[in-house]
Amino acid sequence: MSSGLRAIARLVTAIAAVTIYLALHLTVTACLDLRARDRFREAPTQAAAFVAALDRYADGAEPARAHIRRIDAWFGENAPSGRSRSAISSAAGHAEEGRVSLARKEVAGLATEIERDQARLDRELSSSTAVALYWAVPAGLLLVPVLRLRRRRRSGAAEIVEVVSRFVPQQPWWRRPVFLAGSWVGYGLFATGSLAAATSEQRGYTMPLETQVLLLLGGLAALGAGVLVLRHCRPRSARSAAQALLADGRKPVLYLRSFADDDTAASVDDGVPVNIHSREEQLAGALSAFGPVIAVGKPGEPLPRLGAARFYLPPDDWQPVVLRLMELSQLIVLGLGLGEGLWWEVEQARATQPARKLVLLVPGGRPGVAARLDEHLPTPSRLDEVIAGDSWISAVIAFDSEGRPKVHPVGPRPGTTTRRGVLGSLAAGVRRAGRTWMIPLSMPAHQVVRAMKAALASVGVRRRMLVWKGVFAMQTALWKGFALVVALALLSWLVFRALPLFDH
Protein backbone atom coordinates (compact mmCIF):
# COMPACT_ATOMS: atom_id res chain seq x y z
CA MET A 1 0.00 0.00 0.00
CA SER A 2 1.39 3.40 -0.98
CA SER A 3 1.63 6.32 1.45
CA GLY A 4 -1.08 8.19 -0.44
CA LEU A 5 -3.49 5.27 -0.33
CA ARG A 6 -2.73 4.73 3.34
CA ALA A 7 -3.54 8.38 4.04
CA ILE A 8 -6.83 7.97 2.20
CA ALA A 9 -7.55 4.80 4.19
CA ARG A 10 -6.92 6.58 7.47
CA LEU A 11 -9.11 9.50 6.43
CA VAL A 12 -11.95 7.18 5.39
CA THR A 13 -11.60 5.26 8.66
CA ALA A 14 -11.74 8.48 10.69
CA ILE A 15 -14.81 9.68 8.78
CA ALA A 16 -16.45 6.27 9.29
CA ALA A 17 -15.72 6.36 13.03
CA VAL A 18 -17.23 9.85 13.40
CA THR A 19 -20.24 8.90 11.28
CA ILE A 20 -20.84 5.71 13.27
CA TYR A 21 -20.63 7.62 16.54
CA LEU A 22 -23.13 10.21 15.33
CA ALA A 23 -25.40 7.46 14.02
CA LEU A 24 -25.30 5.72 17.39
CA HIS A 25 -26.00 8.98 19.19
CA LEU A 26 -28.95 9.75 16.91
CA THR A 27 -30.23 6.18 17.24
CA VAL A 28 -30.23 6.57 21.02
CA THR A 29 -32.14 9.83 20.60
CA ALA A 30 -34.71 8.11 18.38
CA CYS A 31 -35.08 5.28 20.91
CA LEU A 32 -35.59 7.81 23.70
CA ASP A 33 -38.25 9.56 21.61
CA LEU A 34 -39.95 6.20 20.98
CA ARG A 35 -39.87 5.41 24.69
CA ALA A 36 -41.29 8.85 25.54
CA ARG A 37 -44.10 8.45 23.02
CA ASP A 38 -45.00 4.97 24.20
CA ARG A 39 -45.04 6.00 27.85
CA PHE A 40 -47.25 9.01 27.10
CA ARG A 41 -49.85 6.77 25.50
CA GLU A 42 -51.21 6.22 28.99
CA ALA A 43 -51.83 9.96 29.36
CA PRO A 44 -55.60 9.85 28.52
CA THR A 45 -56.15 7.14 31.13
CA GLN A 46 -54.06 9.02 33.69
CA ALA A 47 -55.90 12.27 32.91
CA ALA A 48 -59.30 10.60 33.39
CA ALA A 49 -58.09 9.17 36.70
CA PHE A 50 -56.87 12.63 37.72
CA VAL A 51 -60.26 14.23 37.03
CA ALA A 52 -62.00 11.43 38.94
CA ALA A 53 -59.63 11.93 41.87
CA LEU A 54 -60.45 15.65 41.87
CA ASP A 55 -64.15 14.80 42.05
CA ARG A 56 -63.60 12.43 44.97
CA TYR A 57 -61.42 14.97 46.71
CA ALA A 58 -64.14 17.61 46.28
CA ASP A 59 -66.58 15.18 47.93
CA GLY A 60 -64.27 14.94 50.94
CA ALA A 61 -62.41 11.71 50.12
CA GLU A 62 -58.99 12.44 51.67
CA PRO A 63 -57.23 9.37 50.08
CA ALA A 64 -57.87 10.95 46.65
CA ARG A 65 -55.25 13.56 47.57
CA ALA A 66 -52.46 10.95 47.37
CA HIS A 67 -53.86 9.78 44.04
CA ILE A 68 -53.68 13.35 42.71
CA ARG A 69 -50.05 13.62 43.78
CA ARG A 70 -49.16 10.31 42.15
CA ILE A 71 -50.69 11.28 38.81
CA ASP A 72 -49.02 14.70 38.98
CA ALA A 73 -45.67 12.92 39.45
CA TRP A 74 -46.44 10.61 36.52
CA PHE A 75 -47.08 13.57 34.20
CA GLY A 76 -43.96 15.31 35.50
CA GLU A 77 -41.91 12.25 34.57
CA ASN A 78 -43.54 11.14 31.31
CA ALA A 79 -45.25 14.15 29.74
CA PRO A 80 -43.35 16.48 27.40
CA SER A 81 -42.91 20.08 28.39
CA GLY A 82 -46.27 21.23 27.11
CA ARG A 83 -49.75 22.38 28.11
CA SER A 84 -50.93 19.01 29.45
CA ARG A 85 -48.05 18.77 31.87
CA SER A 86 -48.41 22.35 33.11
CA ALA A 87 -52.21 21.96 33.42
CA ILE A 88 -51.86 18.87 35.63
CA SER A 89 -49.18 20.59 37.71
CA SER A 90 -51.30 23.73 38.23
CA ALA A 91 -54.41 21.70 39.01
CA ALA A 92 -52.52 19.61 41.57
CA GLY A 93 -51.23 22.82 43.19
CA HIS A 94 -54.72 24.25 43.45
CA ALA A 95 -56.01 20.97 44.88
CA GLU A 96 -53.28 21.01 47.53
CA GLU A 97 -54.50 24.46 48.57
CA GLY A 98 -58.13 23.30 48.62
CA ARG A 99 -59.20 25.25 45.55
CA VAL A 100 -60.79 22.38 43.69
CA SER A 101 -62.91 24.61 41.45
CA LEU A 102 -59.78 26.27 40.06
CA ALA A 103 -58.20 22.84 39.64
CA ARG A 104 -61.15 21.71 37.55
CA LYS A 105 -60.85 24.79 35.34
CA GLU A 106 -57.18 23.98 34.69
CA VAL A 107 -58.04 20.52 33.36
CA ALA A 108 -61.14 21.53 31.42
CA GLY A 109 -59.43 21.17 28.02
CA LEU A 110 -56.91 18.52 29.10
CA ALA A 111 -57.96 15.89 26.55
CA THR A 112 -57.30 18.27 23.67
CA GLU A 113 -53.90 19.27 25.06
CA ILE A 114 -52.94 15.62 25.47
CA GLU A 115 -53.81 14.96 21.83
CA ARG A 116 -51.61 17.89 20.79
CA ASP A 117 -48.71 16.63 22.91
CA GLN A 118 -49.10 13.14 21.48
CA ALA A 119 -49.04 14.55 17.95
CA ARG A 120 -45.91 16.52 18.80
CA LEU A 121 -44.21 13.40 20.18
CA ASP A 122 -45.14 11.54 16.98
CA ARG A 123 -43.56 14.27 14.88
CA GLU A 124 -40.40 14.31 17.00
CA LEU A 125 -40.12 10.53 16.74
CA SER A 126 -40.57 10.62 13.00
CA SER A 127 -37.96 13.35 12.64
CA SER A 128 -35.38 11.68 14.92
CA THR A 129 -35.90 8.31 13.23
CA ALA A 130 -35.38 9.85 9.80
CA VAL A 131 -32.21 11.63 10.91
CA ALA A 132 -30.87 8.44 12.55
CA LEU A 133 -31.46 6.50 9.34
CA TYR A 134 -29.90 9.34 7.34
CA TRP A 135 -26.66 8.85 9.29
CA ALA A 136 -26.89 5.09 9.76
CA VAL A 137 -26.97 4.41 6.01
CA PRO A 138 -23.69 6.21 5.18
CA ALA A 139 -22.15 4.76 8.35
CA GLY A 140 -22.94 1.28 7.09
CA LEU A 141 -21.80 2.09 3.57
CA LEU A 142 -18.50 3.52 4.81
CA LEU A 143 -17.70 0.19 6.46
CA VAL A 144 -17.35 -1.34 2.99
CA PRO A 145 -14.36 0.78 1.85
CA VAL A 146 -12.89 0.61 5.36
CA LEU A 147 -12.90 -3.19 5.30
CA ARG A 148 -11.68 -3.35 1.71
CA LEU A 149 -8.83 -0.95 2.40
CA ARG A 150 -7.96 -2.94 5.51
CA ARG A 151 -7.85 -6.13 3.47
CA ARG A 152 -5.71 -4.43 0.85
CA ARG A 153 -3.37 -3.08 3.52
CA ARG A 154 -2.89 -6.50 5.05
CA SER A 155 -2.48 -8.23 1.70
CA GLY A 156 0.11 -5.65 0.63
CA ALA A 157 2.25 -6.58 3.62
CA ALA A 158 1.66 -10.33 3.34
CA GLU A 159 5.01 -11.17 1.74
CA ILE A 160 7.22 -9.44 4.26
CA VAL A 161 4.97 -10.50 7.14
CA GLU A 162 5.50 -14.09 6.08
CA VAL A 163 9.27 -13.57 6.32
CA VAL A 164 9.22 -11.74 9.66
CA SER A 165 6.51 -13.71 11.47
CA ARG A 166 8.77 -16.76 11.64
CA PHE A 167 11.07 -14.81 13.94
CA VAL A 168 8.54 -13.20 16.27
CA PRO A 169 8.39 -14.84 19.73
CA GLN A 170 5.02 -16.30 20.65
CA GLN A 171 3.26 -14.57 23.52
CA PRO A 172 0.07 -15.44 25.47
CA TRP A 173 -2.95 -14.00 23.65
CA TRP A 174 -3.91 -11.87 26.67
CA ARG A 175 -0.52 -10.28 27.24
CA ARG A 176 -0.63 -7.40 24.79
CA PRO A 177 -4.33 -6.46 25.35
CA VAL A 178 -3.86 -6.34 29.12
CA PHE A 179 -0.72 -4.22 29.04
CA LEU A 180 -2.12 -2.10 26.21
CA ALA A 181 -5.05 -1.24 28.47
CA GLY A 182 -2.57 -0.43 31.22
CA SER A 183 -0.65 1.80 28.83
CA TRP A 184 -3.79 3.74 27.97
CA VAL A 185 -4.44 4.28 31.67
CA GLY A 186 -0.90 5.60 31.94
CA TYR A 187 -1.42 7.90 28.95
CA GLY A 188 -4.58 9.26 30.55
CA LEU A 189 -2.83 9.93 33.85
CA PHE A 190 0.13 11.47 32.05
CA ALA A 191 -2.00 13.89 30.02
CA THR A 192 -4.30 14.77 32.91
CA GLY A 193 -1.36 15.42 35.21
CA SER A 194 0.43 17.55 32.62
CA LEU A 195 -2.70 19.61 32.00
CA ALA A 196 -3.39 20.07 35.72
CA ALA A 197 0.19 21.14 36.46
CA ALA A 198 0.26 23.53 33.50
CA THR A 199 -3.10 25.03 34.48
CA SER A 200 -1.91 25.56 38.04
CA GLU A 201 1.23 27.30 36.81
CA GLN A 202 -0.39 29.40 34.08
CA ARG A 203 -3.80 30.20 35.64
CA GLY A 204 -3.03 29.83 39.33
CA TYR A 205 -3.22 33.56 39.94
CA THR A 206 -6.96 33.42 39.19
CA MET A 207 -7.58 30.67 41.78
CA PRO A 208 -7.58 30.54 45.57
CA LEU A 209 -4.21 29.44 46.90
CA GLU A 210 -5.63 26.17 48.23
CA THR A 211 -7.07 25.29 44.82
CA GLN A 212 -3.81 26.12 43.06
CA VAL A 213 -1.74 23.98 45.45
CA LEU A 214 -4.22 21.10 45.26
CA LEU A 215 -4.26 21.26 41.47
CA LEU A 216 -0.47 21.34 41.29
CA LEU A 217 0.06 18.48 43.74
CA GLY A 218 -2.68 16.40 42.15
CA GLY A 219 -1.26 17.05 38.69
CA LEU A 220 2.26 16.08 39.72
CA ALA A 221 0.95 12.93 41.44
CA ALA A 222 -1.02 11.91 38.34
CA LEU A 223 1.98 12.72 36.14
CA GLY A 224 4.30 10.59 38.26
CA ALA A 225 1.83 7.71 38.38
CA GLY A 226 1.40 7.88 34.61
CA VAL A 227 5.16 7.75 34.05
CA LEU A 228 5.49 4.69 36.30
CA VAL A 229 2.58 2.89 34.64
CA LEU A 230 3.89 3.65 31.17
CA ARG A 231 7.41 2.58 32.07
CA HIS A 232 6.08 -0.82 33.11
CA CYS A 233 3.38 -1.38 30.48
CA ARG A 234 4.71 0.11 27.26
CA PRO A 235 7.50 -2.44 26.61
CA ARG A 236 5.07 -5.28 27.38
CA SER A 237 2.46 -3.92 24.98
CA ALA A 238 4.84 -3.06 22.13
CA ARG A 239 3.80 -4.39 18.75
CA SER A 240 5.94 -7.03 17.15
CA ALA A 241 7.37 -6.45 13.68
CA ALA A 242 4.65 -8.62 12.11
CA GLN A 243 1.88 -6.69 13.87
CA ALA A 244 3.40 -3.34 12.89
CA LEU A 245 3.63 -4.40 9.24
CA LEU A 246 0.03 -5.62 9.16
CA ALA A 247 -1.23 -2.46 10.82
CA ASP A 248 0.55 -0.18 8.34
CA GLY A 249 0.59 -1.97 4.99
CA ARG A 250 3.47 -0.01 3.47
CA LYS A 251 6.91 -1.34 2.73
CA PRO A 252 8.99 -0.96 5.89
CA VAL A 253 12.07 0.93 6.88
CA LEU A 254 14.75 -1.56 7.91
CA TYR A 255 16.77 -0.21 10.84
CA LEU A 256 20.14 -1.91 11.28
CA ARG A 257 22.65 -1.11 14.01
CA SER A 258 25.00 -2.69 16.52
CA PHE A 259 23.27 -4.19 19.53
CA ALA A 260 25.90 -2.44 21.65
CA ASP A 261 24.37 0.91 20.61
CA ASP A 262 20.89 0.05 21.90
CA ASP A 263 21.55 1.54 25.33
CA THR A 264 22.57 4.89 23.82
CA ALA A 265 19.55 4.90 21.51
CA ALA A 266 17.32 4.12 24.51
CA SER A 267 18.41 7.32 26.29
CA VAL A 268 15.66 9.81 27.11
CA ASP A 269 16.67 13.45 26.68
CA ASP A 270 15.24 16.57 28.28
CA GLY A 271 12.81 18.17 25.91
CA VAL A 272 9.06 18.49 26.36
CA PRO A 273 7.76 18.97 29.93
CA VAL A 274 8.39 15.37 30.97
CA ASN A 275 9.82 13.35 28.10
CA ILE A 276 9.45 9.57 28.31
CA HIS A 277 10.25 8.77 24.69
CA SER A 278 13.71 7.50 23.80
CA ARG A 279 15.89 8.65 20.93
CA GLU A 280 15.06 5.52 18.98
CA GLU A 281 11.33 6.13 19.46
CA GLN A 282 11.69 9.63 18.06
CA LEU A 283 13.80 8.37 15.16
CA ALA A 284 11.29 5.62 14.41
CA GLY A 285 8.44 8.12 14.67
CA ALA A 286 10.09 10.36 12.09
CA LEU A 287 10.87 7.45 9.77
CA SER A 288 7.21 6.40 9.93
CA ALA A 289 6.77 9.07 7.25
CA PHE A 290 8.14 6.37 4.95
CA GLY A 291 6.68 3.25 6.53
CA PRO A 292 6.75 1.06 9.63
CA VAL A 293 10.21 0.75 11.14
CA ILE A 294 11.41 -2.78 11.91
CA ALA A 295 14.66 -3.97 13.45
CA VAL A 296 16.37 -7.15 14.54
CA GLY A 297 16.12 -7.46 18.31
CA LYS A 298 19.04 -8.33 20.53
CA PRO A 299 18.99 -12.06 21.26
CA GLY A 300 18.04 -12.86 24.82
CA GLU A 301 16.64 -9.45 25.78
CA PRO A 302 13.70 -9.93 28.20
CA LEU A 303 11.62 -7.10 26.73
CA PRO A 304 11.81 -5.41 23.32
CA ARG A 305 13.29 -1.95 23.12
CA LEU A 306 10.82 0.78 22.28
CA GLY A 307 11.10 2.35 18.86
CA ALA A 308 11.48 0.07 15.87
CA ALA A 309 9.27 -3.02 16.01
CA ARG A 310 11.39 -6.04 16.81
CA PHE A 311 11.85 -9.55 15.47
CA TYR A 312 14.59 -11.97 16.55
CA LEU A 313 16.91 -13.85 14.19
CA PRO A 314 18.98 -16.92 15.01
CA PRO A 315 22.62 -15.90 15.66
CA ASP A 316 24.03 -18.45 13.20
CA ASP A 317 21.70 -17.97 10.20
CA TRP A 318 20.67 -14.32 10.02
CA GLN A 319 22.31 -13.11 6.82
CA PRO A 320 19.84 -14.58 4.26
CA VAL A 321 16.92 -13.06 6.15
CA VAL A 322 18.56 -9.63 6.31
CA LEU A 323 19.27 -9.78 2.57
CA ARG A 324 15.65 -10.63 1.87
CA LEU A 325 14.42 -7.82 4.13
CA MET A 326 16.73 -5.36 2.39
CA GLU A 327 15.06 -6.28 -0.88
CA LEU A 328 11.53 -5.92 0.54
CA SER A 329 12.18 -2.63 2.39
CA GLN A 330 11.81 0.81 0.87
CA LEU A 331 14.57 2.36 2.98
CA ILE A 332 17.55 0.98 4.88
CA VAL A 333 18.79 3.05 7.80
CA LEU A 334 22.07 1.69 9.10
CA GLY A 335 23.92 2.92 12.17
CA LEU A 336 27.64 2.41 11.67
CA GLY A 337 29.81 0.78 14.31
CA LEU A 338 32.76 -1.54 14.72
CA GLY A 339 31.04 -4.92 14.39
CA GLU A 340 31.91 -7.06 11.40
CA GLY A 341 28.25 -7.85 10.85
CA LEU A 342 27.48 -4.18 10.28
CA TRP A 343 30.16 -3.82 7.62
CA TRP A 344 28.85 -6.93 5.90
CA GLU A 345 25.41 -5.25 5.86
CA VAL A 346 26.95 -2.05 4.43
CA GLU A 347 28.68 -4.04 1.71
CA GLN A 348 25.54 -5.99 0.81
CA ALA A 349 23.31 -2.92 0.81
CA ARG A 350 25.75 -1.10 -1.45
CA ALA A 351 26.09 -4.08 -3.78
CA THR A 352 22.50 -5.31 -4.04
CA GLN A 353 20.22 -2.32 -3.44
CA PRO A 354 19.57 0.99 -5.22
CA ALA A 355 21.96 3.63 -3.93
CA ARG A 356 19.29 6.06 -2.73
CA LYS A 357 17.73 3.33 -0.60
CA LEU A 358 20.56 3.42 1.95
CA VAL A 359 21.04 5.97 4.73
CA LEU A 360 24.01 5.74 7.08
CA LEU A 361 24.09 7.14 10.60
CA VAL A 362 27.64 7.87 11.72
CA PRO A 363 28.25 8.02 15.50
CA GLY A 364 30.80 10.31 17.06
CA GLY A 365 33.82 9.18 18.97
CA ARG A 366 34.46 6.11 16.84
CA PRO A 367 37.98 6.27 15.43
CA GLY A 368 38.48 4.27 12.29
CA VAL A 369 34.86 4.41 11.11
CA ALA A 370 35.55 7.02 8.44
CA ALA A 371 38.53 5.15 7.02
CA ARG A 372 36.67 1.87 6.94
CA LEU A 373 33.63 3.42 5.30
CA ASP A 374 35.79 4.89 2.55
CA GLU A 375 36.82 1.35 1.61
CA HIS A 376 33.21 0.76 0.50
CA LEU A 377 32.71 4.05 -1.35
CA PRO A 378 33.69 5.17 -4.85
CA THR A 379 34.74 8.59 -3.54
CA PRO A 380 36.07 9.62 -0.11
CA SER A 381 33.36 10.61 2.37
CA ARG A 382 35.58 13.14 4.20
CA LEU A 383 33.81 12.19 7.41
CA ASP A 384 36.72 13.25 9.56
CA GLU A 385 35.86 16.87 8.77
CA VAL A 386 32.37 16.67 10.30
CA ILE A 387 32.63 14.06 13.06
CA ALA A 388 33.19 15.76 16.38
CA GLY A 389 33.01 14.69 20.01
CA ASP A 390 31.24 11.60 21.21
CA SER A 391 27.71 12.51 20.18
CA TRP A 392 25.12 9.80 19.50
CA ILE A 393 25.04 10.54 15.75
CA SER A 394 27.49 13.03 14.24
CA ALA A 395 26.59 12.79 10.56
CA VAL A 396 24.03 11.35 8.16
CA ILE A 397 25.07 10.03 4.77
CA ALA A 398 22.77 9.52 1.80
CA PHE A 399 23.77 8.40 -1.68
CA ASP A 400 22.79 9.77 -5.05
CA SER A 401 21.79 7.56 -7.96
CA GLU A 402 25.47 7.16 -8.92
CA GLY A 403 26.38 5.97 -5.44
CA ARG A 404 28.26 9.11 -4.43
CA PRO A 405 27.97 9.94 -0.71
CA LYS A 406 26.28 13.13 0.50
CA VAL A 407 27.42 13.85 4.04
CA HIS A 408 25.34 16.10 6.31
CA PRO A 409 26.61 16.92 9.80
CA VAL A 410 24.25 16.67 12.76
CA GLY A 411 24.06 19.68 15.05
CA PRO A 412 21.73 22.23 16.63
CA ARG A 413 20.06 24.79 14.46
CA PRO A 414 21.82 28.16 14.71
CA GLY A 415 20.43 30.24 17.53
CA THR A 416 18.93 27.35 19.51
CA THR A 417 19.93 26.15 22.93
CA THR A 418 19.16 23.03 24.87
CA ARG A 419 17.99 23.17 28.48
CA ARG A 420 19.94 21.05 30.89
CA GLY A 421 19.04 19.62 34.25
CA VAL A 422 15.89 18.08 35.66
CA LEU A 423 14.70 21.19 37.47
CA GLY A 424 15.29 23.41 34.47
CA SER A 425 13.50 20.99 32.21
CA LEU A 426 10.50 20.68 34.51
CA ALA A 427 10.22 24.40 35.18
CA ALA A 428 10.45 25.34 31.51
CA GLY A 429 8.37 22.38 30.45
CA VAL A 430 5.39 23.15 32.66
CA ARG A 431 5.25 26.64 31.18
CA ARG A 432 5.28 25.19 27.68
CA ALA A 433 2.95 22.25 28.32
CA GLY A 434 0.08 23.64 26.31
CA ARG A 435 2.11 24.92 23.37
CA THR A 436 5.20 22.71 23.10
CA TRP A 437 4.18 21.33 19.74
CA MET A 438 4.66 24.78 18.24
CA ILE A 439 8.26 25.18 19.42
CA PRO A 440 11.11 23.83 17.24
CA LEU A 441 13.05 21.39 19.37
CA SER A 442 16.78 20.85 19.44
CA MET A 443 17.09 17.43 21.03
CA PRO A 444 19.68 14.93 19.71
CA ALA A 445 17.09 12.81 17.91
CA HIS A 446 15.50 15.91 16.41
CA GLN A 447 18.87 17.08 15.11
CA VAL A 448 19.45 13.69 13.53
CA VAL A 449 16.04 13.80 11.84
CA ARG A 450 16.71 17.28 10.43
CA ALA A 451 20.06 16.14 9.08
CA MET A 452 18.44 13.02 7.63
CA LYS A 453 15.79 15.09 5.88
CA ALA A 454 18.45 17.34 4.37
CA ALA A 455 20.57 14.35 3.31
CA LEU A 456 17.65 12.60 1.63
CA ALA A 457 16.50 15.80 -0.05
CA SER A 458 20.00 16.25 -1.50
CA VAL A 459 19.61 12.96 -3.38
CA GLY A 460 16.02 13.61 -4.46
CA VAL A 461 14.13 11.72 -1.72
CA ARG A 462 11.65 14.02 0.04
CA ARG A 463 9.20 13.54 2.89
CA ARG A 464 7.67 16.79 4.08
CA MET A 465 6.39 15.36 7.35
CA LEU A 466 9.65 13.73 8.40
CA VAL A 467 10.64 16.40 10.94
CA TRP A 468 7.14 16.99 12.28
CA LYS A 469 6.60 13.28 12.82
CA GLY A 470 9.76 13.29 14.90
CA VAL A 471 8.44 16.21 16.95
CA PHE A 472 5.12 14.43 17.39
CA ALA A 473 6.92 11.25 18.49
CA MET A 474 8.45 13.14 21.42
CA GLN A 475 4.93 14.08 22.58
CA THR A 476 3.13 10.85 21.77
CA ALA A 477 2.28 10.12 25.41
CA LEU A 478 0.70 13.55 25.83
CA TRP A 479 -1.41 13.39 22.67
CA LYS A 480 -2.45 9.79 23.25
CA GLY A 481 -3.55 10.78 26.73
CA PHE A 482 -5.63 13.68 25.43
CA ALA A 483 -7.14 11.41 22.76
CA LEU A 484 -8.03 8.88 25.44
CA VAL A 485 -9.68 11.51 27.62
CA VAL A 486 -11.73 12.82 24.68
CA ALA A 487 -12.70 9.31 23.59
CA LEU A 488 -13.77 8.35 27.12
CA ALA A 489 -15.75 11.58 27.43
CA LEU A 490 -17.61 10.91 24.17
CA LEU A 491 -18.23 7.28 25.10
CA SER A 492 -19.41 8.24 28.58
CA TRP A 493 -21.81 10.78 27.12
CA LEU A 494 -23.23 8.14 24.78
CA VAL A 495 -23.65 5.67 27.65
CA PHE A 496 -25.23 8.36 29.83
CA ARG A 497 -27.71 9.14 27.07
CA ALA A 498 -28.55 5.45 26.65
CA LEU A 499 -29.01 4.66 30.36
CA PRO A 500 -32.67 5.80 30.48
CA LEU A 501 -33.48 3.11 27.90
CA PHE A 502 -32.74 0.48 30.56
CA ASP A 503 -34.67 2.25 33.30
CA HIS A 504 -37.86 0.35 34.00
- pLDDT tens track for 382-427: 777 667 667 889 999 999 988 888 999 887 755 544 444 444 454 4
- pLDDT tens track for 174-216: 999 999 999 999 999 999 998 888 888 887 778 888 888 888 8
Residue 139 CA to residue 418 CA, distance in Å, equals 48
Higher-confidence residue of 255 and 6: namely 255
Residue 334 CA to residue 322 CA, distance in Å, equals 12
- pLDDT tens track for 280-299: 999 999 999 999 999 999 99
- Residue 436 confidence (pLDDT): 45
Reply yes or no on whether the pLDDT at 122 is more than 90. Answer: yes
Q: If you average pLDDT over every residue of the chain, what do you get?
A: 87
Residue 149 CA to residue 308 CA, distance in Å, equals 24
- pLDDT tens track for 53-82: 888 888 878 788 899 899 999 999 888 888
- Residue 178 confidence (pLDDT): 95
What share of the chain has pLDDT > 90, as a percent?
51
Output phi, psi for 295, to 5 deg: -155, 155
- Residue 417 confidence (pLDDT): 47
Angle CA 232–472–3, to nearest 5: 110
> Residues 321, 341: contact at Cβ < 8 Å?
no
Q: How many CB atoms lie within 10 A of CB 39?
A: 14
- What are the DSSP calls for 81-127, one per residue? SSHHHHHHHHHHHHHHTT-HHHHHHHTTTHHHHHHHHHHHHHHHHHH
What share of the chain has pLDDT > 70, as a percent?
92
| Residue 254 bridge partners (DSSP) | 294, 332
**Residue 504: pLDDT band by 50, 70, 90 thresholds?**
low
- pLDDT tens track for 434-480: 444 434 456 888 899 999 999 999 999 988 889 889 888 888 888 89
Residue 456 CA to residue 406 CA, distance in Å, equals 9
